[in-house]
């Protein structure tokens, strides 16, 4: 497989559509984050991903990770360690880290652009630094100062990495059933015992030490989720002064044999009175873990985006080269024995679906990342709160939509190649296998849908949605007379009104029957996602048709063609999802009990 970072579109979204510099200027030290600096970072990031990381992708899938029972250790595929060392040498591990702890202090949105490149180049390799970023977030917001001083600098330097240890064999996503326990020691540390499963990067040979962030119960903890605490448990013991000691009694018991992401070590982790430290207050571990989990959920959305992009690039290249049959309107390449398959309308449909979802998803991801910047760095509490409410609302949409669409788009990639897509030699089938887990880990699509509708809409009085609809309304009003994008603006305005109406309808039904929320949730999430993407596509069309737009005419025309395709061919999917929402709970509750008996 080949990959070229789509820097032109990345710059267009970040600067022309979202005007990132205006947001950076509001942040402490943000005036130093110039467009020239950001572009230089992205150019170097592209070189790393294209030249160093992409060649490791197929290697990782073919070799996988290896578990040694005697040493209880995991070895990653060849070339992964060298790529990680070069990643560290390039300073990428601390790109967005706090300078107080050795980071470079760049905005999170710059890191997200680089993250997209990583996920396209090798999504399995990208899981190792992904969870390290989450560990830093959890320690930053919930750790004691000594913990931040000891652990964060070494994670930002790349010397250490992090994991997130939640799931257990018997409880899956229901963390209230977890049994891992934590016994206090006299010196203030704890002994952690239990088994965790499906732990991404639970063990590997890339870094010198691994920091496991573990959910466990204290002896006097109340039952359920109210009795969960979070602990940091190093692979090698770490004292409060930062000195590293002997191997902690925490080790993988095995690694999973998976459908995809074979270069990412997914471990069963056994804790046998392993030494650890409490992070945050007792019995408040779930709050701390959600800080890490929300970071990871946004990151998994970027994984979906990266897979869409690389599948599109390789399918497009094949479609331009593969000769098969003639165009229905007559030969397009009379000098050849057949026309390239890109002339056929349905091949174009599949390619344009990939392209449109990739470009709309990119805007959604980068916009969300800018909200992260406002939440983490803005000095005005009101601005921080509004951004946090929007980010909280968009997180389940971003995670679920981009991962579900990654499965669809990687499937299109295989279909464009036909039989060649199904066999391993071309690499497209690997992308679909890698994509399949993204709708499952860090909360399934169904969990994201319940989070969106049950918690963010019903539980929080739709505050994030109201902010977002207000933003959409302001955009549509401002550009109501813009002839160049009039059809797009009118469509977004109409869908926004229906979105609001659907939300009210669900609320009315749910007041009579709580099952209505579960019955509507997934359709509601998809409806929300398609309208959200339509809004960003309309913004892209507006930016491309501005008098001040400095890009090429070719890029502008390609962008407008993609936007038109989205509105004509993809946004109508909302009709099905609105119908699903309005169908109610009956066909999923009492009326199907006999059918599923």
Q: In this predicted model, what pLDDT tens digit does every residue of 173-221 receive, in sequence order?
A: 777 788 999 999 999 999 999 999 999 999 999 999 999 999 999 999 9
Kindly tell me if the per-residue pLDDT of 51 is higher than 80: yes
Reported residue count of the chain is: 597
Q: How far is residue 338's CA from residue 332's CA, in Å, rounded to a whole number?
A: 9
- The Cα-based distances of 491 to 285, 401, 410, 496, 550 in angstroms read 44, 20, 28, 9, 27
Confidence bin at 596 (pLDDT 50/70/90): confident
pLDDT in tens, 509-555: 999 999 999 999 999 999 999 999 999 999 999 999 999 998 999 99
If one compares 295 and 82, the residue with the highest pLDDT of the two is: 82
In terms of C-beta density within 10 A (0-12 exposed, 13-18 middle, 19 or more buried), how is residue 481 classed? exposed
The pLDDT of 32-50, averaged and rounded, is 97
- pLDDT of 291 over the 90 cut: no
Residues 6 or more apart whose CB falls under 8 angstroms from that of 87 comprise 48, 52, 93, 129, 158
pLDDT of residue 569 exceeding 90, the answer is yes
| Pairing mode, strands 209-216 and 160-165 | parallel
Where does the pLDDT of residue 415 fall: very low under 50, low under 70, confident under 90, or very high at 90 and above?
A: very high
Contact 162, 131 (CB under 8 A): yes
**3-state secondary structure at position 254:** strand
Residue 30: DSSP 8-state? G
**Number of helices and strands (H, E) in the chain?**
19, 11
- Determine the Cα–Cα distance for residues 540 and 11; give it in Å rounded to an integer: 12
Per the DSSP assignment, residues forming a β-bridge with 279 are: 230
Query: What's the confidence (pLDDT) of residue 205?
Result: 97
Out of 94-103, 131-140, 302-311, pick the least confident. 131-140
Cα separations (Å) of 470 from 465, 474, 486, 496?
Answer: 8, 6, 19, 10
Residue 225: the pLDDT is 86
Q: Check if 471 is active-site.
A: no
**Residue 282 φ/ψ region, left for φ over 0, alpha for ψ in the -120 to 50 degree band, beta for the rest:** beta
pLDDT confidence of residue 289: 78
27 has pLDDT over 90: yes
590 pLDDT more than 80: no
pLDDT of the residue at 176: 74
Residue appearing with tokens 């890339």: 206
Distances (CA, A) of 340 to 271, 323, 346, 417, 460: 57, 4, 13, 12, 52
What is the predicted pLDDT for the residue at 406?
98
Work out the angle between the directed axes of helices 515-545 and 381-417 (0-180°, nearest 10). 90
Which 3 state secondary structure label does DSSP give 182?
strand
597 has pLDDT over 90: no
* pLDDT for residue 174: 75
pLDDT in tens, 449-459: 999 999 999 99
First-to-last C-alpha distance (Å) of the chain: 47
Per-residue confidence (pLDDT) for residue 8, from 0 to 100: 97
Distances (CA, A) of 19 to 35, 256, 539: 10, 43, 11
What local confidence, expressed as pLDDT, does residue 594 receive?
Answer: 77
Residue-wise pLDDT tens digits, 259-286:
999 999 999 999 999 999 999 999 998 8
On the question of pLDDT at 420 being above 80, the answer is yes
CA distance 439 to 454: 19
pLDDT at residue 158 in the model: 96
Give percent of the chain above pLDDT 90: 90
pLDDT band at 296 (very low <50, low <70, confident <90, very high): confident
Tokens of 529: 């996602």
Question: Which letter does DSSP use for residue 15 in this model?
Answer: I
Residue 216 and residue 220: Cα distance in Å, rounded?
A: 12
Which pLDDT score, from 0 to 100, does residue 292 have? 74
Q: How many Cβ atoms sit within 10 Å of the Cβ of residue 425?
A: 8
For residue 400, report the phi and psi dihedrals to the nearest 5 degrees: -75, -45
Distance CA 288, CA 306 (A): 28
Using CA atoms, how far apart are residues 237 and 240, in angstroms rounded to an integer? 10
Give the separation between CA 293 and CA 377, rounded to whole angstroms: 20
Average pLDDT on 564-581 reads: 98
Spot the catalytic one: 389, 442, 516, 540.
442
CA distances from 253 to 160, 178, 194, 202 (A): 21, 18, 12, 10
Q: Which residues pair with 266 in a beta bridge?
A: 200
Give the ranges where 64-209 is alpha helix by DSSP (H).
80-89, 108-122, 127-142, 145-156
The residues that bridge with 164 in the sheet, in sequence order, are 213
* Confidence tier at 230 by pLDDT (50, 70, 90): very high
Task: Assess whether pLDDT exceeds 80 at residue 408.
Answer: yes
What tokens does 423 get?
């066999």
Predicted pLDDT at 177: 82
**Measured on CA atoms in the order 8, 98, 210, 400, is the torsion positive or negative?**
negative
What value does the mean pLDDT take over residues 393-406? 98
Residue 287, pLDDT score: 81
pLDDT over threshold 90, residue 294: no
In this prediction, what percent of the chain has a pLDDT beyond 70? 100
Please state, in angstroms and rounded to a whole number, the distance separating the CA atoms of residues 161 and 157: 9
- Do 3 and 49 meet the contact criterion of CB atoms below 8 Å apart? yes
Are 539 and 479 spatial neighbours (Cβ–Cβ below 8 Å)?
A: no
């Amino acid at each position: 497989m080949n990959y070229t970072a789509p820097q032109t579109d990345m710059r267009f979204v970040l600067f022309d559509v979202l005007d990132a510099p205006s947001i950076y200027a509001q942040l402490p030290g943000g005036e130093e984050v110039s467009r020239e600096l950001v572009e230089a970072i992205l150019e170097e990031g592209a070189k790393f991903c294209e030249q160093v990381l992409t060649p490791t992708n197929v290697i990782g899938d073919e070799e996988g990770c290896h578990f040694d029972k005697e040493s209880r250790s995991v070895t990653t595929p060849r070339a992964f360690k060298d790529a990680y060392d070069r990643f560290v040498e390039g300073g990428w591990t601390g790109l967005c880290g706090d300078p107080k702890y050795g980071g470079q202090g760049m905005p999170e949105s710059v890191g997200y652009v680089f993250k997209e490149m990583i996920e396209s180049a090798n999504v399995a390799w990208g899981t190792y630094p992904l969870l390290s970023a989450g560990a830093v977030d959890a320690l930053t917001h919930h750790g004691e100062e000594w913990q931040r001083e000891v652990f964060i600098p070494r994670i930002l330097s790349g010397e250490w990495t992090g994991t997130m240890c939640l799931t257990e064999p018997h409880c899956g996503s229901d963390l209230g059933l977890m049994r891992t326990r934590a016994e206090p020691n006299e010196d203030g540390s704890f002994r952690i015992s239990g088994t965790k499963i499906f732990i991404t990067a639970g063990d590997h040979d890339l870094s010198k030490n691994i920091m496991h962030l573990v959910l466990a119960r204290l002896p006097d903890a109340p039952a359920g989720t109210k009795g969960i605490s979070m602990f940091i448990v190093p692979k090698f013991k770490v004292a409060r002064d930062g000195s590293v000691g002997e191997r902690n009694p925490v080790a993988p018991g095995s690694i999973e044999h998976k459908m995809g992401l074979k270069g990412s070590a997914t471990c069963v982790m056994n804790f046998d009175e392993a030494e650890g430290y409490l992070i945050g207050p007792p019995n408040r571990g779930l709050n701390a873990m959600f800080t890490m989990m929300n970071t990871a959920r946004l990151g998994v959305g970027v994984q979906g985006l990266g897979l869409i992009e690389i599948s599109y690039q390789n399918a497009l290249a094949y479609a331009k080269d593969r000769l098969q049959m003639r165009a229905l309107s007559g030969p397009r390449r009379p000098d050849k024995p057949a026309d390239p398959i890109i002339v056929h309308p349905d091949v174009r449909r599949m390619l344009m679906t990939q392209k449109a979802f990739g470009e709309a998803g990119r805007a959604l991801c980068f916009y969300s990342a800018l909200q992260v910047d406002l939440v983490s760095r803005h000095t005005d509490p009101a601005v921080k709160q509004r951004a946090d409410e929007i980010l909280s609302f968009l997180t389940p949409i971003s995670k679920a939509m981009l991962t579900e669409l990654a499965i669809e788009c990687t499937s299109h990639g295989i279909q464009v190649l036909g039989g060649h897509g199904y066999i391993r030699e071309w690499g497209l089938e690997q992308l679909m296998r890698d994509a399949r887990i993204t709708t499952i880990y860090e909360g399934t699509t169904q969990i994201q849908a319940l989070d969106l509708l049950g918690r963010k809409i019903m539980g929080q009085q739709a505050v994030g949605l109201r902010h977002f609809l207000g933003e959409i309304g302001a955009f549509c009003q401002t550009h109501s007379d813009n002839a160049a994008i009039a059809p797009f603006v009118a469509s977004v305005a109409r869908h926004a009104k229906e979105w609001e109406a659907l939300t009210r309808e669900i609320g009315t039904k749910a007041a009579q029957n709580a099952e209505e929320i579960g019955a509507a949730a997934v359709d509601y999430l998809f409806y929300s996602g398609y309208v959200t993407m339509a809004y960003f596509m309309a913004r892209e069309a507006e930016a491309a048709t501005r008098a001040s737009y400095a890009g090429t005419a070719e890029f502008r025309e390609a962008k407008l063609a993609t936007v038109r395709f989205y509105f004509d061919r993809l946004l109508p999917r909302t009709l099905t999802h609105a119908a699903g929402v309005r169908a109610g709970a009956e066909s999923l509750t009492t009326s199907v009990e006999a059918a599923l008996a």
